[in-house]
Amino acid sequence: MVKCQQGNWAPVDSKNIVASVRRVFESQDITKLSKKAYEFITGQMGFIAHYSLPGFQNTYPDIAEFAEKLQSSEYGHSKDYNLGEADRFEADSDFQKWYGEAYNKSKAKAIRRIVAEARKFEAKYRVEEKTVLVPHKIRVLVAR
């Protein structure tokens, strides 16, 4: 277990976290989300945990919705919300004092890269709603 000392928290593993999110988008399969990425997203990007990784995955089988929420947070509406949070983590002097520059920069980097992956996914696909059995609708991803 990594000990966190005030002002000297270890940087987050942004490379593996972002790679996990990228695998979700490439495969369009939320079960590809790693526990480390799940913990980062629920701890740093405005999501609730839904009790566990499987609970979270059951909440987001719709990858387009997942991409949207990675930008806005689970209950937000602005697609720039998490980018603003990344800026805040780097600029807030209290965060620098409490956690340290390396930790805050790595966290902000991971958030920006996750949002970039979500936007890349959205640029590649559009969502269409189709009625399958009245009154049920499904969302279908269509390549742009």
Residue 133: its pLDDT value, please?
A: 60
Higher pLDDT among residues 4 and 113, named by residue:
113
Residue 130: its pLDDT value, please?
A: 66
Q: What is the pLDDT of residues 87-104, one digit of tens each?
A: 999 999 999 999 999 999
Higher pLDDT among residues 65 and 141, named by residue:
65
How much is the pTM? 0.88
Q: What contacts 50, CB < 8 A, 6 or more positions away?
A: 42, 56, 58, 59
- CA nearest neighbour of 123 among 56, 64, 66: 64
Mean pLDDT of the chain: 91
Residue 110: its pLDDT value, please?
A: 98
Confidence at 2, pLDDT banded by 50, 70, 90: low
Hey, what amino acid is at 119?
R
Residue 138: its pLDDT value, please?
A: 65
Q: Transcribe the chain into DSSP letters.
A: ----BTTBPPPP-HHHHHHHHHHHHHHT-GGG--HHHHHHHHHHSS---TTSHHHHHHH---HHHHHHHHHH-SS---TTHHHHHHHHHHH-HHHHHHH-HHHHHHHHHHHHHHHHHHHHHHHHEEEEEEEEETTEEEEEEEE-
Confidence at 139, pLDDT banded by 50, 70, 90: confident
Residue 136: its pLDDT value, please?
A: 58
CA 108 and chain centroid, separation: 12
Q: What is the pLDDT of residues 60-89, one digit of tens each?
A: 999 999 999 999 999 999 999 999 999 999
